Amino acid sequence: MRNELYSAGIAITGSGSGIPSGRLTNQDLAQMVETSDEWITTRTGIKQRCLTASGESLKTIGAQAAHQALAMAQVAPEEIDLLILATSTPDDLFGSAVSIQTAIGANHAVAFDLTAACSGFVFGLVNSAQFIRTGAYQKVLLIGADVLSRWVDWSDRSTCILFGDGAGAVVIEATSAERDRLLGFELCSDGQLSHTLNLGYHGSEKTIVDSIEVNQGHYQPITMKGKEVYRFAVEKVPEVISKALFHADLTSEDVDWLLLHQANQRIMDAVAQRLSLPPERVISNLANFGNTSAGSIPLALDEAQRAGKLQSGDIIAMSGFGAGLTWGSAIVQWQIEP
């Protein structure tokens, strides 16, 4: 985890967003389930969420985010060596990274999907770094994207108020080991807690010939035990960030920006408080996008960059957490000039 162990470092050189055209407000939800704008806002911090409309897909919003990130980095698609798509909701269960690769013209890249739910972008960032640090690849396009509206039970008030669709992307390039911008990281998972957040398969036995049976079915809508997930996040996220900061030889006092998975404003506030970070140092766009799973961190990162909040040299403590359960943190030093 220390950059002196590697022959190359990494730097994020561009970011982009893929935002669907549909909008679903709290007032709209109040027409669907027993809720209100005040009830949702006070409990989650969410005011609206974006939904993919007709003609849009994971591929379209992922490609949009990719194009923006490439343009900012001034990197041509054919220069990309590796494309990683962090998602839990591909257009094709076999994977959607290759379809985005084709859509943007990254013809020389190898592409694959990575599934770690809401932690996907952080896991993808660490994976990208390893390919670059070992010298295997020079330029990586990392996309975090999800279309959770496909898997929401819109009659379930406890979950339908939370989730939206969206994509974010970054270009990651090789630099010298001395200038490595991934300063430290820590990744975790615990399958014993998987029952708290699921998008599970449900099947039944079907006889195909004589006594030979197969199990066929479909995936069920998202189910979540909100109180358990909240307690998990508030306990584990500050801990994993502290460990990543330790690997980076830093403390929370060195952090300029806290960038968490955009799940619930109360979770973000509680984590910031435990790390003794003031609210003005927390990056949040939850109110406008809701929980976009693997898309949430890169979406918020790109929005903050384009708004001029991020300055070269800023220390950003990122942390994703979600289904699996998985959680992790990456400490990044920003370097893109505004």
Q: Alpha-carbon dihedral of residues 86, 134, 2, 175, nearest 10 degrees? A: -90
Contact in structure between 290 and 93 (CB atoms under 8 Å): no
Count of beta carbons in the 10 Å neighbourhood of residue 37:
16
Decide if 291 is catalytic. Answer: yes
Residue 115 tokens read as: 């599934």
Residue 192 tokens read as: 């014993």
Contact in structure between 110 and 82 (CB atoms under 8 Å): yes
Three-state secondary-structure class, residue 223: strand
Question: Looking at 26, 50, 261, 285, which residue is catalytic?
Answer: 261
Strands (E), the chain: 9-18, 22-25, 48-51, 82-86, 110-114, 139-147, 165-175, 182-189, 197-198, 201-209, 212-219, 223-224, 257-260, 315-322, 326-333
The contacts found for 249-254 with CB under 8 angstroms, 24 or more apart, are: 249/183, 249/184, 250/183, 250/184, 250/315, 250/331, 252/276, 252/277, 252/317, 254/315
Three-state secondary-structure class, residue 163: strand
Question: Looking at 26, 127, 264, 291, which residue is catalytic?
Answer: 291
Length of the chain: 338
Question: Looking at 118, 264, 285, 288, which residue is catalytic?
Answer: 118
Residue whose tokens read 């307690």: 231
Read off the amino acid at residue 211.
S
- The set of catalytic residues is 118, 261, 291
